[in-house]
Structures are given as C-alpha cells and as structure tokens.
Amino acid sequence: MKRVLILTLLVVVVSSMLCSQLNVAVLGEVRSLNPFLVKSSAERIVVGYLYETLLTERSGQIVGALAQDFQVDFSNNSLILRLRDRKFHNGSPVTADDVVFSFNYILQKRLPLGPILAYLTGAEKMDEKTVKLTFRTMNVSMLSFAPMAIPIIPKAVWEKIEKPLEFPNIERPIGSGLLAFEKLTPQSVVLKFFKDHPDAPQYLQTVVFHTVQDETMGFLGLVKGDYDYLFWNLDPELAKQVMENPTKYPNVKVALIEGGVVNVVMFNHRKAPMNDVNFRKAVLHALNYVELVEKVYGGLADIASLGLIPKRAKVVYDESVGTVQQNLPLAKEFLKKSNYDGRKLTLLVSSDRRSMDTAEYIKLYLKNVGIEVELDVQGPEGLTTKLKKADFDLALHAYNLGSHPEMAFYHLHSSRGTMKDGQVTGFNYGGVSIKELDSALESIWMAFSENERIQAFKNLQKLIAEFVPVVPILVPVDIEAYSVKNFTGWIVSPTEGVMNVESLKSLKPVR
C-alpha cells in the first residue's frame, strides 16, 4: 500500500512538472539568437522574450519596461529615463552603462537597427540608474521608436564581440527579458521563466518553442494537444472550421484581434509606368477588394483605407478619407492617360498560399483593364533579396502600422529609398520620392503635441489617397489559435492578443 502511495505521488509530481511547461509552435528555423541578426519569424519571437527595451506598449499605452519612468524635455530635445532595479539573466544588475553601451554599440558597429537611431545624437549616463537620450529633434513620436525598439544588452558580454553580425549568440544569450535561455536543439528552443522578472508567472516554469516548417502540421499538433499556442495567424479557412464546429475541436479556441498589418501593392517608382500617378490610380481602381476579402480571407479581413493607416491606429486614423473601391471605368480612363505601353510587368510575390491566391486575383483584375502582369514567385529569402535590390515592377508587400503608424516614414520617405552598392538603404523598397509626401512625413516628426501629430497624420492620409504611392488592399484580422487542453486561464487582450503577460500570469495547468 505504501509503495502504491509513493508511486501515485511520483506520478502527480511528474505530471505537475510537465504541465508547468508551455508548448508553443513557431514557424521557421532558429539559427541565431543575436538581437541584431534576426532573420526568421521564429528568431524574432524568441529574441523578443530574451531581451527587453526601455519602454513598451500595453493596451495601446506607452509604459516603462526596463525604465521605471521617463521625462520628455522638449527644450533640450532629450528624454530622461530612470531605470528600475532589474537584473540580467546572469544575475548582474542592469545599469545606465549597459543602456548607453547598447545605443552607442549599434551606431559604432553600423548594425541593422541603426536607421531607427537616425535622429539620436547621443546617449549619456547621468547616474547609475538614469540615462539621457538626446535627439536632433524631439517630438511625441520619438517615444515609439528608439526607447521601444533598441534591445538593452549587457556591456560586459558584448564589448568583447568585435564582429556582432558574425556572432550567432547561441551558446549563452543573456538579456533581462521574461524568459532566460536554457537550451537550443534542432527542433526547439527551451526557455525558462526568469524568476527575478516582475512579470514571471506563478504556475509556469518553462516555454518550449517548437520550430515547425508547415502551418498545417502545427495546427494538427494544436488539435492533439502537443502545442498550447500557435505563434502565427491561423489560416482563415481553418479558423472558420474551428468556430463553426466546436464539438470537432473541443480544446481549440480562436481569438479574432483587430489587425494592424496593411497588405499593399507596392510600385517600383524608379521605372515607368510605375512612376506615373495615372498608372498607379488605374491599378487602384482595377482591384476587386470585396472579392479579395471574401475569397482569399473568408471575410476575416477589412478593406484598407485609401490613406493606408489602419483602424487599429485609432488616435491618428482618419475615417473621412474612405476605403479603396473598385471602379473599372475610372481604372480604364486613368490607364489611357498613363505612360503604360502595354508591355508585360512583373508582380513579385511570396510563395505562401494566401499571397499566391491574392496575386492570381490581382493578375486577373489588371488584365481586365488592359494591364498584363506575370508572377515572380519567391521564397522568403529570395523575396527579401529582390526587394532590397529593387528588382521588381510591382510587389505584394505588407506594412505593420497598427501600433506604430510613424513607420510610414520609413516605408515612404525618399531618404529611405536611396540605392547604395546596388541595395536599397532603407525600407522604402519602391523608391517613393514625392516631395509633398516627404513634407507630410517630416511634419509628423516635428509635431510637438498630440494634436499636431494627429493633424499631421490626417494630412498624410489625404496625400496618400491623392498620390497613391502604394495601393492599400486589405487589413487581415489577426487570428490566434490556442488550446485549453493543458491550461486554463487564457486572457484575450483586444490589443495584445492571447500570448500577453496577463495571460501567462493567469495560466494554470489542468489537473
């Protein structure tokens, strides 16, 4: 009897240990955990949990992360941040020296995050727990960039790394984030909750990020209970199946979150006829947006605004600009005015199914008004290479503007589309160069009050509707899938989705 009791207790303990492990599926491979060398979606997710920034966003508000509080000094174009008493994963304290080093290291080593610091003139230590960031110009938008985008790294570790872009950082990555590194295998990354972090949950011990190459296999794993959460947007058809057949998928839940990513047709403005606003307007009016939403996304998407900014950016979104609409007679009229000579153009597109489906419909819509295109289908690496080389006529692309609408500057300002050594120097892959847009984008960075910022964005959206630098198509709904087989207590945030801090704190293993 005593032996049976011991075995029973052992089973309970082992079961408890297993249930304290959250299993998450991510797409792609993890070859590097270097925060400056992120390439795959899986790497971006894992690195985001390992490293923290000074500020972050929660429920649409800018709040402190490593910084306890901050003060904006417009008279001196500076931001003063006071740090919390926090530690890195190796136990050493996070100090002002680490923060100053993190900012300067990016500039000195010319790392990819450098463009975000284009307006930064210096990072200065005021005392052990206080940092001053000084900018060439200071405005209300600055909080959304440098303090929220730059990962804080331990100086003692990284000052020894001479060539950071050749450093995979997979032996023992050290940050101050919610999760600390435990091990990396060919199929997964195991992270443990950092108990010194204020947001560390009570009932969870580890998170295993399982790297999967196929969305379908990931979904089947979720149905079986092998995974508790899928870290990508679920296919709309699958989502509808789950929602319409709850008895068939008793443990699988779907959360629909307002999207912030705008799918667009991007033009290469360096070439004719894409440099002609009449041609761009012909494309704008040729597309059947209602059909794209229904046929490609099963209704789980919104038709985009003519002004590009999505509804999720509620404070600056201008509803009066209206949405994109098909108008075939107008499309043909604009095409006649344009410098299009009838030649076949290329439409660069990702090889994933939804992008391919969208591209096939667009090809048909354009043919109906007299524009011939052929698809140039590329995998993730090939697509990125062609975008950076500006090797396309038109391209299907996406801008994440929901949380940070100021990113429109990086996608559309002429300074971000210049070529150097055969590569686009910024994210303006289409080489948009329209002086009126440049002025509007610059005015956003010169806004010293929230009202000025809102007015600057309203002006920008009207100009985008007028000049059509890109054609906004639709805004997919964020579709998150999770399982309640192993854990209860999931909390769905309307702005942060399912995998948010409060959700992790609330999760309890099913006994």
Q: Is residue 100 part of a domain?
A: yes
The predicted structure's pLDDT at residue 140: 62
- Reported confidence tier of residue 24, pLDDT bands at 50, 70, 90: very high
Does residue 411 sit in the same domain as residue 335?
Answer: yes
Range of the domain at 145: 52-158
User: Could you tell me if 152 and 194 lie in one domain?
Assistant: no
Within this chain, do residues 253 and 287 fall inside the same structural domain, yes or no?
no
Instruction: Tell me if 13 is assigned to some domain.
Output: no
- Residue type (1 letter), 480: E
Domain assignment present for residue 47? The answer is no
The tokens describing 475, both together, are 């805004």
Q: Are residues 404 and 273 in the same domain?
A: yes
**pLDDT at residue 381, as a whole number:** 79
- Clarify whether residues 471 and 502 are in a common domain: no
Tokens (6 digits) for 28: 């792609």
Q: Is residue 163 part of a domain?
A: no
The arithmetic mean of pLDDT across residues 285-293, rounded, is 98
- Residues 268 and 377 grouped into a single domain: yes
Q: What is the CATH number of the domain that holds 78?
A: 3.90.76.10
CA distances from 47 to 91, 108, 327, 366 (A): 19, 22, 45, 41
Whether residue 12 is predicted with pLDDT greater than 70 in this model: the reply is no
Asked whether residue 446 carries a pLDDT value surpassing 90, the answer given is: no
Angle at 483 (CA atoms; ends 480, 488), nearest 5 degrees: 115
Condensed to tens digits (0 to 9), the pLDDT of residues 103-112 reads: 999 989 988 8
Instruction: Identify the pLDDT of residue 131.
Output: 96
Task: With respect to residue 2, please indicate whether it lies within any of the assigned structural domains.
Answer: no
180-202 pLDDT per residue, tens: 999 999 999 999 999 999 999 99
| Angle at the Cα of 266 from the Cα atoms of 458 and 465, rounded to 5 degrees | 25
Is 41 part of a structural domain of the chain? no
The structural domain count of the chain equals: 3
Tens-place pLDDT, residues 330-351: 999 999 999 999 999 999 999 9
Q: Of 158, 192, 225, which residue is a domain's last?
A: 158
Strands 478-483 and 487-488: unpaired
> What is the C-alpha to C-alpha distance for residues 498 and 476, in angstroms, rounded to an integer?
17
Whether the full predicted model's pTM is greater than 0.75, yes or no, is yes
Same domain (yes/no): 245, 270:
no
> 197 and 337 share a domain?
no
Give the single-character DSSP code of 234.
Answer: P
Instruction: Report if residue 16 sits inside a domain.
Output: no
Average pLDDT, the chain: 92
User: Which residue has 């003063």 as its token pair?
Assistant: 80
Asked if 372 and 242 sit in the same domain, the reply is no
Q: Is the pLDDT of residue 16 over 50?
A: no
Asked if 341 and 382 sit in the same domain, the reply is yes
Locate 279 and state its tokens: 């041609």
459 and 313 within one domain: yes
Average pLDDT over residues 375-387: 90
Mean pLDDT of all residues in 413-420: 94
CATH code for the domain of 310: 3.10.105.10
